A = this chain, B = another copy of it.
Amino acid sequence: MKMKKYIYNFNEGTAEMKDLLGGKGANLAEMSNIGLPVPQGFTITTEACNMYYEKNHKLWDELIGEINIKIKELENKTNKTFDDKENPLVVSVRSGAKFSMPGMMDTILNLGLNDDTVDALAKNSNNERFAYDSYRRFIQMYGNVVMNIDKNKFDEIFDGFKVKTKVESDTELNAETLKDVVKEFKKLYKKETEKEFPENPKEQLLLAIEAVFKSWNTERAVIYRRIHNISDNLGTAVNVQSMVFGNMGDDCGTGVAFTRNPATGEKKLFGEFLINAQGEDVVAGIRTPLDIEILKDVMPEIYRQFAEIADLLENHYKDMQDIEFTIEKGKLFILQTRNGKRTVEAAVRIAVESVGEGKLNEEEALLRVDPSQIMHLLHPTFDKNILKNTKPIAKGLPASPGASSGRIYFSAAEAVIASKRGEQVILVRQETSPEDIEGMVEAKGILTSRGGMTSHAAVVARGMGKCCVAGCEAIKVNENLKHFIVDDKVFNEGDYISLNGSSGNVYEGVIQTLEPELSSQYITLMSWADKIRRLRVRANADTPKDAAKAVELGAEGIGLCRTEHMFFEEDRIAAVREMILSDNVEQRRAALKKILPMQKEDFIGIFKAMGPRPITIRLLDPPLHEFLPKDDESLKELANEMKIDFGKLKIRVEDLKEVNPMLGHRGCRLAISYPEIAEMQTRAIIEAAIYVKKEEGIDVKPEIMIPLVVKPKELTYIKDVVVKIADELIKESDIELKYLYGTMIEIPRACLVADDIAVEAEFFSFGTNDLTQMAYGLSRDDAGKVIEDYLNKKILQFDPFQSIDRKGVGRLMKLAVELGRKQRPDIKLGICGEHGGEPLSVEFCHGLGLDYVSCSPFRVPIARLAAAQAVIKAKGLIKQVQNK
């Protein structure tokens, strides 16, 4: 039996092999193949990682054997040998999953160094300082990553030496001091692990590989994957590569650069570098790096080479690249390339300009923008008139655009708590680290005092589409005292500040925001999307203002107009309560009569805003107790206002209480108990439609939607009421008015009897929020802890309230679509649950053959783009570019 191959040399792979080699490994292979200067090495596959977990978290003999063979080959190619006292092989060990997960996985540099080889390195490089600097870095990284020793304990020792030798920067420490650092690091290592630091490079290597495998399942990696919807089953590859050193002296350096500006999309090299440094120094934000343009002056030939390679790579990958490089003694090496993360502004600009440049066609360009990011383009900006007269308190790097105000918190944990309380939170940190991810998710904006445009905070915030100002050195952050100081002014936890992520400015207090202006590239891209998509896109909107916004954002109708929101408004809640507290149908009718003109006005406003676009109006849905106050104090007030007995009111309120309101007296059950409510609402809708048609000449298209149907007879019963009133009014009006009568499909049983329901319903609109709740037996109000726990324990791969559960809820939908169409071939099918604006769900709805999706106005562009992508993906001709 031929043994499975778990390791590939770089020259054995291609860019297509990301599943097996991870993104980094596949790209290293690709670059090797096209002749770029890549240090030699090999990749241990993701399959090996998964097998490691299957084998109870142990490296197995066959794999170890294969590693030994590959090391031998690497030794031959590099002419260096592990543990060789004269020409030792030194390698980096880096993780690389299919999707790059910045800062999530752990890296070890300089592996292979020990007390012997460090001297060989010193001798060969003729640079003792460099050799010991590399060695101390290795011990620290190894101790931290493999043995879990607190990084700060190393830093304390290191900083202690800086104080003792009175130097400011790391590079000023001389070789002798670094030797002492190494000694102290080793002592620390022994104290913490109760073992000697491993001097054998092979032992170092195996433990490091295992550490990379393990790092796939650290809590922060799991959280990152959850946020980005990445499967837990992919595993990570491990790249072992012979080291090149950027820290051998001033003819050395290291840097990171994008082929275009990742914040704006501008076509211009964008990046940073440091002289005499190893890669981590740039990313970790310990030293503030220099603009890549400066490299042109410092090392013009290297710059020219790099710019050429950058161009070559972008053309090769047909996408903007994020490239890591190292300069060793005046020679350029490329260590990594990947599709660069970018703001959505940049993504749109790059995609559209690439079509202009002939690099992509329109369909390819459409696939290059993540629909869920599009929403950030629509985020407000600060009012420029206010900004004119407002002095910023500080200015940092414009790391991720957007504008937000909020209260400051100095730890991720406190940010999370405050956000759950409902506060708008700005997370303020010296620098962020992967432990801060959850706090960053919750925050409206992020401010750091250290780190550059490629620092952790900057990269992650851009990925999240979240406003971020980084490296704002003017503010002095003290995380322990929970304050920052700027110009002698102290800002304490809970104080308000405002961040402009596009300019880097930081302001005191809250600043008024304005609607954003959309770029011409955005408009072009969306026009391509609209041309290609089949699904119509509607919005959920309950007010003329929301309706107008929806149209502005491209909505082609309203898929869900909730009438109860109108009931809550201050000027009508009294009449609504009077209606609810009525003892009999006459009293109820009297109260409804007061509501009628107001509700009619609402519809007139919405109809005018929507013009001839279809508008689905849902009749009253929530249980009546939602309209009444809960506590005795408010009830007493209400009793006074309404001039009724408190005791009687209290009894009625008790009577309306429900153990499980979600499964109670609501939806169409209300219209069946109190047909006069449906009567009034129908009257308001149809009278408004007639009015708008007569007065404005708009051909209004109302669609009356009955919620929470489980039995066809419910629809029949209410239809008798609705159609009678509607047809009477239309007849009296002497004009033509077409309206549809249909239902929400939001209860499992409705899906099972959808054929019978379609006899009465001219349209179905899937209410996937409730459908998911009922299908799972899990209420969103109560699901928080359960879903959290299930995601952590990997029982759920994703939150079914975020993205449609295709296997369960999706199957019910499919059944309903088939049965509904069988009964009524021209039935109109849509979705108005929140899933309607989530890209994966939109794709699913496209596949189901729905006619439209409906979502909140700000999600309309997401749905438009996702619907276009669904068409392109369904063609299956264009391979989807994974740029996560």
Chain A's interface size range is 35 or more
A752 touches B714 (CB 8 A): no
Which chain B residue has the least Cβ–Cβ distance from A623?
Answer: B782
Which chain B residue has the least Cβ–Cβ distance from A808?
Answer: B749
Minimum CB–CB distance from A768 to chain B (whole Å) comes to 13
> Which listed residue (B658, B708, B713, B782) contacts A664, Cβ 8 A?
B782
* 6 residue pairs from A and B, CB less than 8 Å apart: A660-B781, A663-B783, A710-B776, A710-B778, A710-B808, A774-B774
B665 touches A662 (CB 8 A): no
A773 touches B811 (CB 8 A): no
CB of A79 closer than 8 Å to a CB of B: no
CB of A669 closer than 8 Å to a CB of B: yes
B residues within 8 A CB of A667? 777
B residues within 8 A CB of A793? 672, 717
> Which listed residue (B658, B713, B746, B777) contacts A770, Cβ 8 A?
B777
Cα distance, A736 to B808, chains bound together (Å): 39
CB of A775 closer than 8 Å to a CB of B: yes
Minimum CB–CB distance from A623 to chain B (whole Å) comes to 9
Minimum CB–CB distance from A446 to chain B (whole Å) comes to 30
B748 touches A774 (CB 8 A): yes
A662 touches B661 (CB 8 A): no
7 additional contacts (CB under 8 A) given A663-B777, A669-B789:
A658-B779, A658-B781, A664-B779, A708-B777, A710-B775, A717-B793, A749-B809
A773 touches B809 (CB 8 A): no
B747 touches A776 (CB 8 A): yes
> Which listed residue (B747, B774, B795, B805) contacts A672, Cβ 8 A?
B795
Minimum CB–CB distance from A232 to chain B (whole Å) comes to 12
**Do A663 and B795 contact each other (CB < 8 Å), given the known contacts A770-B777, A811-B752?**
no
> Which listed residue (B661, B747, B752) contacts A660, Cβ 8 A?
B661
CB of A673 closer than 8 Å to a CB of B: yes
CB of A163 closer than 8 Å to a CB of B: no
Give the contacts of A647-663 with B (CB-CB under 8 A): 658-663
Cα distance, A710 to B773, chains bound together (Å): 12
Minimum CB–CB distance from A334 to chain B (whole Å) comes to 42
The 6 residue pairs across chains A and B that have the minimum distance between CB atoms? A663-B779, A664-B782, A659-B781, A660-B779, A749-B808, A747-B777
> Which listed residue (B673, B711, B786) contacts A796, Cβ 8 A?
B711
B residues within 8 A CB of A658? 779, 781-782
Minimum CB–CB distance from A501 to chain B (whole Å) comes to 36
Minimum CB–CB distance from A755 to chain B (whole Å) comes to 10
Cα distance, A796 to B665, chains bound together (Å): 15
A785 touches B665 (CB 8 A): yes
B residues within 8 A CB of A749? 775-777, 805, 808-809
Cα distance, A781 to B660, chains bound together (Å): 8
Give the contacts of A664-700 with B (CB-CB under 8 A): 664-665, 667, 669, 672-673
B710 touches A789 (CB 8 A): no
Contact string against B for A residues 703-717, beta-carbon threshold 8 Å, 1 for contact and 0 otherwise: 000001011011001
B747 touches A775 (CB 8 A): yes
B residues within 8 A CB of A812? 748, 752
Which chain B residue has the least Cβ–Cβ distance from A795?
Answer: B713
CB of A807 closer than 8 Å to a CB of B: yes
Give the contacts of A743-757 with B (CB-CB under 8 A): 746-749, 752-753
B residues within 8 A CB of A316? none
CB of A794 closer than 8 Å to a CB of B: yes
**Do A775 and B795 contact each other (CB < 8 Å), given the known contacts A672-B789, A781-B659?**
no
Give the contacts of A790-814 with B (CB-CB under 8 A): 790, 793-796, 805, 807-809, 811-812
Which chain B residue has the least Cβ–Cβ distance from A811?
Answer: B752
Which chain B residue has the least Cβ–Cβ distance from A794?
Answer: B713
Minimum CB–CB distance from A785 to chain B (whole Å) comes to 6
B residues within 8 A CB of A664? 778-779, 782-783, 786
Contact string against B for A residues 753-769, beta-carbon threshold 8 Å, 1 for contact and 0 otherwise: 10000000000000000
B residues within 8 A CB of A748? 748, 774-775, 777, 808, 812
Cα distance, A314 to B770, chains bound together (Å): 57
A665 touches B782 (CB 8 A): yes
Cα distance, A793 to B748, chains bound together (Å): 23
B residues within 8 A CB of A662? 659-660, 662-663, 777, 779
B residues within 8 A CB of A752? 775, 807-808, 811-812
> Which listed residue (B777, B781, B789) contacts A673, Cβ 8 A?
B789
Cα distance, A711 to B805, chains bound together (Å): 11
Give the contacts of A241-295 with B (CB-CB under 8 A): none
Give the contacts of A185-229 with B (CB-CB under 8 A): none
Cα distance, A658 to B659, chains bound together (Å): 10
B753 touches A807 (CB 8 A): yes
